[in-house]
Amino acid sequence: MEVQAVDYLAEERGKAAFDVEAMKVVWAGSRHSLEVSDRMARLVASDPVFQKDTRTMLGRKELFNNTLRKAAHAWKRINELRLTEEEAEKLRNFVDEPSYVDLHWGMFIPAIKGQGTDEQQNKWLTLAYKMQIIGCYAQTELGHGSNVQGLETTATFDPKSDEFVIHSPTLTSSKWWPGGLGKVSTHAVVYARLITDGQDHGVHGFIVQLRSLDDHSPLPGITVGDIGTKFGNGAYNTMDNGVLQFDHVRIPRDQMLMRLSKVTREGKYLHSDVPRQLVYGTMVYVRQTIVADASIALSRAVCIAVRYSAIRRQFGSQDGGPESQVIDYKTQQNRLFPLLATAYAFRFVGEWLKWLYADVMQRLQASDFSTLSEAHACTAGLKSLTTSITADGIEECRKLCGGHGYLCSSGLPELFAVYVPSCTYEGDNVVLLLQVARFLVKTVSRLGSGKKPLGTTAYMGRVEHLMQCRSDVRKAEDWLNPSAILEAFEARAIRMAVSCAQNIGKASSPEEGFSELSADLVEAAVAHCQLIIVSKFIEKVQGDVDGQGVKEQLQILCNIYALSLLHKHLGDFLSTGCITPNQGALANDQLRALYSQLRPNAIALVDAFNYTDHYLGSVLGRYDGNVYPHLYEAALKDPLNDSVVPEGYDAHIKPVLKQRFRVSRL
Amino acid sequence: MEVQAVDYLAEERGKAAFDVEAMKVVWAGSRHSLEVSDRMARLVASDPVFQKDTRTMLGRKELFNNTLRKAAHAWKRINELRLTEEEAEKLRNFVDEPSYVDLHWGMFIPAIKGQGTDEQQNKWLTLAYKMQIIGCYAQTELGHGSNVQGLETTATFDPKSDEFVIHSPTLTSSKWWPGGLGKVSTHAVVYARLITDGQDHGVHGFIVQLRSLDDHSPLPGITVGDIGTKFGNGAYNTMDNGVLQFDHVRIPRDQMLMRLSKVTREGKYLHSDVPRQLVYGTMVYVRQTIVADASIALSRAVCIAVRYSAIRRQFGSQDGGPESQVIDYKTQQNRLFPLLATAYAFRFVGEWLKWLYADVMQRLQASDFSTLSEAHACTAGLKSLTTSITADGIEECRKLCGGHGYLCSSGLPELFAVYVPSCTYEGDNVVLLLQVARFLVKTVSRLGSGKKPLGTTAYMGRVEHLMQCRSDVRKAEDWLNPSAILEAFEARAIRMAVSCAQNIGKASSPEEGFSELSADLVEAAVAHCQLIIVSKFIEKVQGDVDGQGVKEQLQILCNIYALSLLHKHLGDFLSTGCITPNQGALANDQLRALYSQLRPNAIALVDAFNYTDHYLGSVLGRYDGNVYPHLYEAALKDPLNDSVVPEGYDAHIKPVLKQRFRVSRL
């Protein structure tokens, strides 16, 4: 099948009322960031080793081996090309295949950086940066994920030999899930209960060598393996998530990570004077990257769905002319455009979180812990909200592509499967929302004390106004006013928090009340977090934005984001009396008008993500829109098409067709 | 690892306040149905050929071949054991692996039955029933799914040879998606535009032989293959969904399915006197089975999540005692129990649809078409609603199992991937809801005409009362009154439909208005369909129900179903003024109380589904609750664990660990 070099989306691109190149800079965060991303994406896309179009067809072993090959090749290229750390990270990112490398750079090294003494960092980071050792992060166990304090692995200090004895006392204490552990890592940061002289000091980190650096075989006392197939084709099956058991494994005392607390030669347990709050800094950092990743993942799915919705035609043919593009259907717009707006919203809140992290670290260094609990709650909530919405949003984009979205060649099934664990890891999303809620209830309870709420809870300082204000929206266009939107979201959030706090007050005890009302508390936390995202989007739009028409597009997206949330959570806004049913209906009218404004710019708005066809990995989302010949081509590559008559014909089809059963009733 | 024969859920089972065996009969529909299901499920579970525990680890070819083997073995057993049609169908169902067999029995044979003349049925069904031919259903094309009238394949009558010439004029006209087509089917019912003497008569069905019955090779002019990997591990990758192109393939005239219309020897196109409405009967039948399947799929996921939620403990340990079972957390209950209630709700509405189908067929035979459009709209809506909620519900159950739900050994990833296409096939769910909405708007417009609305729209006859009534709920328990629930749901549904109708009336044309307001119309359709399900559940509870405590449990489930919907769609109820914010809060209070009532019965309520461990296919959902040793055991079976040092070590890991890059900046 010959493929023509035609841009089937050229007409769509011509409709854009804004400067796409300028929007690319806005999306990337800076001209520099765009340039580096663009260069690294093309580098990966043009290298045949990094091809990924048959990934979803491979069996587990073949797939895993292929990932090892890519990881080694990436490391080689990074060194040959003398890439900077920023470039190297982006290159690894565009390789777009989970592997041990992610854990080595993303968890093992940061853990040692955060929890190791200067001496420990000197020793271990030198090896790790050169990949002379490969490390992973062994925290979760078969029986314990969310509740870190309940981990069962023990590290018992033996003063005789000056060693810790790492041990797995039960089956459920097996380390379970750590990425890179199963087959690759030579070392791990292992979390275990520290025991000295019979006393349990809780969970601490230890550097443990797992495999011989000579022949890669597990060291004595170590049982290690892969935990098996995970959700989806390709996806995380490229990763050796592992299981690990210790049978009294001895490590030197200096392999306990001792920056925050240490065990002396005599077996004494001591805290250092480094503030323990530093741990929260790391948490803010990790969650900030997760929010940034959410906007990437969602924007990839949206890019595919928007492009294919402009290519796909169905129904509505008049006089034998072409059928309607499905992107012109209001039902399609009503599902797709809010997700497009959400991708941008998440991008900007992620950008703001980078600032927040820098701010928190600066304060920590100055021993200013005043903003910490607010920053902690805020990042917990944003991690939860953005990952849940992104996971659901990818699946919605898949459905918006009709039947073909179910094919792996659409790229969407793998995108979903590889993304969805982020709803569970680094804090289960519901557990995190309960943490936010706890913080909100506490903030509410202190409102009378004269202490002003900080940061993203500052609006709560205006509690009196927000508890009794009523929206003055009178016509649909009034909803375009940012202050109308902001006040409605603020009023809703604070009223839900206050109502929860009041109801908890009626319970026999606060804990009892908190537990009984936890479903309501989760909803209050969601309302608060949505407000944060809406307000950061509004701030972005109100700031300096370069490029012809760019600000206007962001304004439209911002309004779509806010008003679609308002419609989705109408029950909250009405039950708290923030708006009237009629004002809700006006918001909906305005939303429809905004869809019409967005429509001609939709393709250009996803072009602004600047994704290569390689990175998107989707026949449906091709830049040139030339979908159908490539769907056909992708199908032909399936192993089942190696032969026209399938291998099982003689054994399992012919007998069915030719057999005669005398005994059958049928 | 030794596995003990202990029932870890025995204590939970002891808490049940009702007769589980009686509930099994209620769930199965009858004692007979329970007995047959139970017997067939055990037959499959005990046969080693039907094992499926390593299915998700197989590569595509191996997987497909294994499915062929199972299908052949099932056919052999069905004949050897002289199973009845009912037994055979259940056996195939418990094999639980999509294959060509499903399409042969579920689409090919019914299509010939429905559209073939007596003569055609005699000839082709005789062969098909004995599987001397294997057939599939070739309707959708690369460029056309939802819009059947837009299909491009042509069947041109050639009066010279008394044949039809089947042809694929474009790439997009390739048949695409039909299950069983790619590698197995010898025949297909092909849908193509009938052309006689230059005139296009629209889409008709034709029986076309695709492959030689001697050696299975495609016949001349036929290009056929597999369309490639689909979403998920195992899942639909066991099926050879196919692509098919015709290059002027000739078939005899008598292979056009001629029950409803025919082409004479002279090339004249004639309609028969068989009413075309019969087609709708088939549609009602197919959708009824889809709704029944929804309750099965959702109940499987719920069964796994409920059992594991009772086994899994996390947080809340006091004084070193065991941690809390996660099923005791209100946030868990708030997500899980409504899904448990929904599974039952779908079961009962599915049962009612069986009755509806029988009723429709009886009327059709008597040429009574009066209920047809209502039945058509109702089944379209229920198909849409139940499949969407089930797909989302399975994924929610997976998340409710924490990290381990992401492992294929949990059974949930495959359950999701294999289920989710039902949101798209047999009518895209949003397209179907728009059909329902169109019917509702029409019904509203006729309310003044004196013609009484029928069946599930009968409540609209009370429009005057429902447009102005207000709920008289004053305390939480008032929401236990079925008539309070019913009236709120009826008022909400009719008010949304009337509001849509009024807004359409304001548009420049009805079509314009319908298109512009289609997102609102979808919501109105959902409200109507939820009312149907709620009302059928209430009818079930109010009817005869045998067994100690069974009725009481159904009552609790029914109330949870209705009140959780009310909470989820609170915006609808408030904006239409059906209830007040305070009444909404009372419903929520009552919901929490109902969760507490359900809690001790949760395990028994999923035991009542009577699923074998084989059918569930989930380590987390094991009947005996002995989860952890089996998770470990399942992991060991992964191909990656064939060797401790992975195959790629020498080629791709060692070089990384040992290489020294002189040029690196890092």
Question: A342-364 pLDDT, tens per residue?
Answer: 999 999 999 999 999 999 999 98
Q: What is the DSSP string of B23-53?
A: HHHHHHSSHHHHHHHHHHHHHHHT-GGG--T
Chain A residues touching residue B150 (CB < 8 angstroms): 314-315, 317, 323
CA neighbor of B186 nearest in space, from B214, B153, B151, B165: B214
- The first and second tokens of residue B291, run together, are 């709704």
Chain B residue at shortest CA distance from A573: B571
Chain A residue at shortest CA distance from B240: A640
Helical (H) or strand (E) element with B472: none
- Cα(A370)–Cα(B364) distance, rounded to whole angstroms? 75
Q: Under CATH, which number does the domain B279-452+474-607 receive? A: 1.20.140.10
- Residue A8: how many other CB atoms lie within 10 Å: 17
Q: What is the DSSP string of A227-257?
A: ---BSTTTGGGGS--EEEEESSEEEEGGGB-
To the nearest whole Å, the CA of B325 is away from the closest chain A CA by: 12
Q: Check residue A158 and give left, alpha or beta (phi > 0: left; psi -120 to 50: alpha).
A: beta
Of residues A231, A323, A653, nearest to B216 (C-beta):
A653
Contact between A541 and A554 under an 8 Å Cβ cutoff? The reply is yes
Chain A residue at shortest CA distance from B584: A575
Three-point CA angle B435, B437, B441, nearest 5°: 120
Provide Rg for chain B, Cα atoms. Answer: 27
3-state secondary structure B330-353: HHHHHHHHHHHHHHHHHHHHHHHH
To the nearest whole Å, the CA of A182 is away from the closest chain B CA by: 9
Q: What is the DSSP string of B506-555?
A: HSSSHHHHHHHTHHHHHHHHHHHHHHHHHHHHHHHHHS---STTHHHHHH
Of residues A133, A150, A569, nearest to B323 (C-beta):
A150
DSSP state of A141: B
Contact between A291 and A353 under an 8 Å Cβ cutoff? The reply is yes
Contact between A601 and A560 under an 8 Å Cβ cutoff? The reply is no
Q: For A279-607, give the CATH class.
A: mainly alpha
Give the CA distances from residue B415 to residues B70, B232, B393, in Å, rounded to whole numbers and listed in that order. Answer: 19, 9, 11
The residue of A420, A630, A656, A659 whose CB has the most chain B CBs within 10 angstroms, and thus the best one to mutate to test that interface, is: A656
pLDDT in tens, A447-466: 988 889 999 999 999 999 99
Contact between B205 and B188 under an 8 Å Cβ cutoff? The reply is no
Of residues B228, B515, B640, nearest to A60 (C-beta):
B640
A80-94, A142-156, A269-283, range with greatest mean pLDDT = A80-94
CA neighbor of A467 nearest in space, from A495, A430, A489, A503: A495
Q: What is the DSSP string of A574-635?
A: HHTTSS-HHHHHHHHHHHHHHHHHHGGGHHHHHHTT---HHHHT-STT-TT--HHHHHHHHH
- The first and second tokens of residue B238, run together, are 């066991």
Q: How confident is the model at residue A60 (pLDDT cuts 50, 70, 90)?
A: very high
Residues of A known to be catalytic:
426
The residue of B653, B659, B660, B663 whose CB has the most chain A CBs within 10 angstroms, and thus the best one to mutate to test that interface, is: B653
Chain A residues touching residue B325 (CB < 8 angstroms): none
Pairing label, strands B154-158, A175-176: unpaired
pLDDT in tens, B275-312: 888 777 888 888 999 999 999 999 999 999 999 999 99
Which pLDDT value is given to residue A146?
76
Q: How confident is the model at residue A585 (pLDDT cuts 50, 70, 90)?
A: very high
Give the CA distances from residue A519 to residues A147, A376, A516, B399, B569, in Å, rounded to whole numbers and listed in that order. Answer: 20, 21, 8, 16, 15
Which pLDDT value is given to residue B1?
41
Contact between A624 and A8 under an 8 Å Cβ cutoff? The reply is yes
For residue B566, with 0-12 CB atoms within 10 Å meaning exposed, 13-18 middle and 19 or more buried, which class applies? buried
- Cα(B222)–Cα(B187) distance, rounded to whole angstroms? 12
pLDDT in tens, A203-248: 999 999 999 999 999 999 999 999 999 999 999 999 999 999 999 9
Q: What is the edge-to-edge ordering of all strands in the sheet holding A242-246?
A: A175-176, A242-246, A222-226
- Residue B142: how many other CB atoms lie within 10 Å: 26
Of residues A183, A229, A638, nearest to B233 (C-beta):
A229
Mark yes or no for CB contact A406/B654 under 8 Å: no
Burial B270-305 (b: 16+ CB within 10 A, else e): eeeeeeebeebbbbbbbbbbbbbbbbbbbbbbbbbb
pLDDT in tens, A378-401: 999 999 999 999 999 999 999 999
Give the CA distances from residue A501 to residues A460, A533, B332, B491, in Å, rounded to whole numbers and listed in that order. Answer: 14, 23, 21, 33
Of residues A142, A407, A573, nearest to B230 (C-beta):
A407
Which pLDDT value is given to residue A1?
41
What is the block-wise mean pLDDT of chain B (666 residues), using blocks of 10 residues? 74 98 98 98 98 92 97 96 97 98 96 95 97 97 88 97 98 97 98 97 97 98 98 96 98 97 97 84 88 98 98 82 92 98 98 95 91 93 98 98 97 98 92 96 92 94 97 98 98 98 96 96 98 98 97 98 98 98 98 98 98 98 98 96 96 91 53
Contact between A596 and A334 under an 8 Å Cβ cutoff? The reply is no
Give me the catalytic one of B12, B97, B396, B426.
B426
Decide if pLDDT at A646 tops 50.
yes
To the nearest whole Å, the CA of A190 is away from the closest chain B CA by: 19
Mark yes or no for CB contact B146/A232 under 8 Å: no
Catalytic annotation present for B86: no
A–B CB contacts, 8 A cutoff, strictly below: 408
Three-point CA angle B440, B442, B447, nearest 5°: 95
- The first and second tokens of residue A552, run together, are 């206007």
- Cα(B28)–Cα(A176) distance, rounded to whole angstroms? 39
Which pLDDT value is given to residue B3?
47
Per DSSP, the three-state class of B252 is strand
pLDDT in tens, A124-181: 999 999 999 999 999 999 998 878 889 999 999 999 999 999 999 999 999 999 999 9
Contact between B285 and B360 under an 8 Å Cβ cutoff? The reply is no
Q: Which CATH architecture has domain A134-274?
A: Beta Barrel (2.40)
- The first and second tokens of residue B537, run together, are 């559940």
Which residues, 6+ apart, have CB-to-CB distance to B67 below 8 Å? B97, B98, B99, B238, B239
Mark yes or no for CB contact A664/B82 under 8 Å: yes
Q: Is the torsion defined by CA of B613, B615, B617, B620 positive or negative?
A: negative
Give the CA distances from residue B538 to residues A157, B23, B341, B342, B558, in Å, rounded to whole numbers and listed in that order. Answer: 64, 17, 12, 13, 7
Mark yes or no for CB contact B317/A635 under 8 Å: no
Chain A residues touching residue B129 (CB < 8 angstroms): 666
- Cα(B428)–Cα(A26) distance, rounded to whole angstroms? 37
The reply to whether domains A134-274 and A279-607 share a CATH topology is no
Which pLDDT value is given to residue A321?
80
- Cα(A27)–Cα(A608) distance, rounded to whole angstroms? 7
Domain range summary for chain B, segments of one domain joined by + = 134-268, 279-452+474-607
DSSP state of B556: H
Pairing label, strands B135-138, B187-196: parallel
Q: Which CATH architecture has domain B134-268?
A: Beta Barrel (2.40)
Chain B residues touching residue A309 (CB < 8 angstroms): none
Mark yes or no for CB contact B69/A652 under 8 Å: yes
Q: Is the torsion defined by CA of A184, A187, A193, A195 positive or negative?
A: positive
- Cα(A558)–Cα(A552) distance, rounded to whole angstroms? 10
- The first and second tokens of residue A43, run together, are 């580098």
Segment A404-427 mean pLDDT: 96
**What's the whole-number average pLDDT of chain A?**
95
Annotated binding site of A for FAD: 140, 179
Contact between A330 and A592 under an 8 Å Cβ cutoff? The reply is yes
